């Protein structure tokens, strides 16, 4: 009886130590990816045949990795912190920061939710049962779920970007800055002229660049979706080793 009691106390101590170690590693991971996200936020890459007011950066990868390995709300926190950090140095970035936070928060939460739903789906359970019945053991449900949720999250991010740019970013930017809607639309029209010479079929879909909404559909949405797809591929590559490093005792 005494021996069993000693074993129980020992197990409790070990479990408590393990929980404390995991928590410490999560805190370290949060700080590291927060710094990474802030650093990547300042590295903006111009894209050919796009309006000169647009660029792409890959700080979203920090949001994704933390959301999946630490906690979804930790990913939300990093999105807010890195955007706020940019605003400290570039005050005119505030409208873009609001847009970026909105798009990233919606995208990462939906992607994480899709991952949880997919990994517990009946389809994967049935596939695993067939695999086990053939004597091949259990299948890896994590990577297929990551791939599917990442792909669907990419589509969501593009759609959210179109709406956010059209109804949040530019209305806010026009109120807070001296830039006129005609000037912003002019940037899109100049870029669209060059793009249609490269891809003539676009004129069949969008005969003219006559509104910010069309510009968001042609440029902002696809650019964000492509960025999120790249970040989802990085998540697919690094999730398992990072999750093992951070969450396993």
Cβ burial 149-183 (10 Å sphere, 16+ → b, else e):
bbebbbebbbbbbbebbbeebbeebbeeeeeeeee
Confidence (pLDDT) at 133: 60
Inter-axis angle of helices 72-89 and 60-69, to 10 degrees?
A: 150
Give the chain's residues under pLDDT 50. 1-3
DSSP-derived letter for residue 93 is G
Instruction: Name the residue with tokens 């010479």.
Output: 197
Query: Is 68:231 a contact under the CB 8 Å cutoff?
Result: no
Confidence (pLDDT) at 49: 86
Phi, psi (5° rounding) for residue 50? Answer: -120, 160
pTM of the model: 0.87
Task: Give the CA count within 13 Å in the CB-facing half-sphere of 156.
Answer: 20
Q: What is the pLDDT of residues 195-207, one digit of tens each?
A: 888 888 888 889 9
Query: Is 142:239 a contact under the CB 8 Å cutoff?
Result: yes
Q: Which residues touch 240 (CB under 8 Å, ≥6 apart)?
A: 142, 143
Q: What is the pLDDT of residues 149-158, one digit of tens each?
A: 999 999 999 9
């Amino acid at each position: 009886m005494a021996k069993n009691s000693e074993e129980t106390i020992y197990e409790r101590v070990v479990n408590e130590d393990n929980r404390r170690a995991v928590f410490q590693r999560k805190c370290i991971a949060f700080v590291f990816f927060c710094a990474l996200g802030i650093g990547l936020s300042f590295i903006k890459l111009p894209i050919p045949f796009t309006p000169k007011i647009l660029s792409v950066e890959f700080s979203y990868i920090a949001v994704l990795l933390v959301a999946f390995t630490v906690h979804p709300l930790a990913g939300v926190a990093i999105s807010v912190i890195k955007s706020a950090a940019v605003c400290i140095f570039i005050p005119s970035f505030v409208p873009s920061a609001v847009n970026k936070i909105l798009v990233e928060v919606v995208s990462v939460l939906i992607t994480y939710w899709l991952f949880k739903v997919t990994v517990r789906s009946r389809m994967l359970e049935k596939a695993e049962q067939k695999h086990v019945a053939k004597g091949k053991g259990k299948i890896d449900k994590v990577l297929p779920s990551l791939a599917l949720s990442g792909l669907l999250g990419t589509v969501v991010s593009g759609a959210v970007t179109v709406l956010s740019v059209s109804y949040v970013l530019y209305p806010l930017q026009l109120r807070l800055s001296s830039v006129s809607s005609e000037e912003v639309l002019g940037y899109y029209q100049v870029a669209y002229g060059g793009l249609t010479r490269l891809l003539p079929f676009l004129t069949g879909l969008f005969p003219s660049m006559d509104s910010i909404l069309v510009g968001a559909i042609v440029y902002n949405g696809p650019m964000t979706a492509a960025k999120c797809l790249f970040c989802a591929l990085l998540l697919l590559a690094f999730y398992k080793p990072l999750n093992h490093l951070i969450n396993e005792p």
